[in-house]
C-alpha cells in the first residue's frame, strides 16, 4: 500500500511539474525475464476480454503488477512524447549507476536517480555529464552548474550539447528545480524529489527529439 500511495504522489507531482544483453528463451528468473513478466502481466488485462474492449491499465495497475512478479529494483517510466508508461527492471549496476530495461530491451541509465543515458528509444541520449547537478539536487542546495548532453547523430558522430543550469527549490515542498539553457535557444526544466540519498521521483529532459521522461522509483 505504501508503494501504491507513492505512485499516487508521483502522478500528482508529475501533473504539477511543467550493460544490457539478451537472455535464453524461457528464462523468467533473470532481471530481463522478470521485466518481461512484469510488463506482460501489466498489459494482459487489455487482451483478456474478447467481448468488449478493455480499458487501458492505469499507472497504478502497471506498478502493482511489476511489484508482484519482480523482487528486484524497479522504476516506473513515462515517456511524455509517446504517451506511454512502462515498468523497467534493473539489469545492471556499476557503482552508483544503474541500468533499467523494458521487456523489449529499451533501457534507461540512472545515476542515483538522475538520467545519464537511454538506449533503444531512438534519438537516444548517449551520455549526460550531470555530476554537479546531482550533487546540488541531493544536497538541496542552490547554485549554477554546467552540464553537457551528448547525442549520436545520423552520421554516427557524437554531438555535445553544452548547457548552463540554475538549480534551486521549486514551488512544491521538497522539490528541486533545474532550469537549463544552451546553444541555439534550447531550454528545459527538470524537477526532482530526493529521498534516502537518491532521486526517487522526477521529470527529466532526454533531448530535443524525445522531450521529457517522468521517473518514479518503485523499489530500491
| pLDDT tens, residue by residue, 190-203 | 999 999 999 999 99
Coil, helix or strand at residue 99: strand
Q: Residues 105-147: pLDDT tens digits?
A: 999 999 999 999 999 998 999 999 999 999 999 999 999 999 9
User: How much is the pLDDT for 60?
Assistant: 87
pTM score of the predicted model: 0.74
User: How much is the pLDDT for 114?
Assistant: 98
User: How much is the pLDDT for 22?
Assistant: 37
pLDDT over 60 at 96, yes or no: yes
Structure confidence at residue 37 as a pLDDT band (50, 70, 90) = low
Coil, helix or strand at residue 172: coil
Query: Rounded to whole angstroms, how far apart are CA atoms 149 and 208?
Result: 11
Q: Residues 118-129: pLDDT tens digits?
A: 999 989 999 999
User: How much is the pLDDT for 132?
Assistant: 95
Query: Rounded to whole angstroms, how far apart are CA atoms 184 and 186?
Result: 6
Structure confidence at residue 59 as a pLDDT band (50, 70, 90) = confident
Q: Residues 165-188: pLDDT tens digits?
A: 999 999 999 999 999 999 889 999
User: How much is the pLDDT for 164?
Assistant: 97
Query: Rounded to whole angstroms, how far apart are CA atoms 195 and 121?
Result: 28
Pairing mode of beta strands 125-129, 211-219: unpaired
Helices (H), 24-177: 31-48, 59-69, 131-139
Cell of 87: 515498468
User: How much is the pLDDT for 7?
Assistant: 43
Query: Rounded to whole angstroms, how far apart are CA atoms 177 and 157?
Result: 31
The CATH code of the domain that includes 68 is: 2.40.360.10
Contact 208, 124 (CB under 8 A): no
Which residue range(s) make up the domain with 137? 2-219
Query: Rounded to whole angstroms, how far apart are CA atoms 201 and 196?
Result: 12
User: Could you tell me which of 161, 191, 218 has the C-alpha nearest to residue 42?
Assistant: 218
> How many distinct structural domains can be found in the chain?
1
Query: Rounded to whole angstroms, how far apart are CA atoms 193 and 200?
Result: 6
Burial 105-141 (b: 16+ CB within 10 A, else e): bbbbbbbbbbbbbbbebebbbbbbebeebbebbbeee
Q: Quick one: CA torsion of 49, 59, 81, 172, rounded to 10 degrees?
A: 160
Amino acid at each position: 500500500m505504501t508503494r501504491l500511495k507513492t505512485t499516487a504522489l508521483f502522478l500528482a507531482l508529475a501533473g504539477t511539474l511543467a550493460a544490457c544483453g539478451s537472455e535464453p528463451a524461457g528464462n523468467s528468473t533473470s532481471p530481463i525475464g522478470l521485466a518481461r513478466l512484469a510488463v506482460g502481466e501489466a498489459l494482459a488485462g487489455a487482451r483478456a476480454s474478447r467481448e468488449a474492449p478493455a480499458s487501458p491499465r492505469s499507472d497504478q495497475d502497471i506498478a502493482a503488477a511489476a511489484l508482484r512478479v519482480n523482487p528486484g529494483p524497479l522504476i516506473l517510466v513515462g515517456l511524455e512524447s509517446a504517451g506511454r508508461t512502462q515498468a523497467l527492471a534493473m539489469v545492471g549496476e556499476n557503482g552508483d549507476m544503474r541500468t533499467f530495461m523494458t521487456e523489449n530491451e529499451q533501457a534507461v541509465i540512472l545515476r542515483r536517480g538522475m538520467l545519464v543515458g537511454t538506449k533503444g528509444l531512438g534519438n537516444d541520449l548517449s551520455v549526460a555529464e550531470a555530476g554537479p547537478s546531482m550533487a546540488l539536487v541531493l544536497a538541496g542546495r542552490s547554485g549554477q552548474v554546467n552540464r553537457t548532453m551528448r547525442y549520436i547523430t545520423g552520421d554516427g558522430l557524437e554531438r555535445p550539447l553544452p548547457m548552463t543550469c540554475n538549480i534551486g527549490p521549486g514551488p512544491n515542498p521538497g522539490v528541486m528545480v533545474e532550469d537549463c539553457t544552451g546553444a541555439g535557444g534550447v531550454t528545459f526544466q527538470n524537477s526532482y524529489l530526493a529521498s534516502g540519498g537518491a532521486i526517487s521521483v522526477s521529470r527529466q529532459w532526454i533531448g530535443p527529439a524525445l522531450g521529457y521522461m517522468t521517473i518514479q522509483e518503485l523499489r530500491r
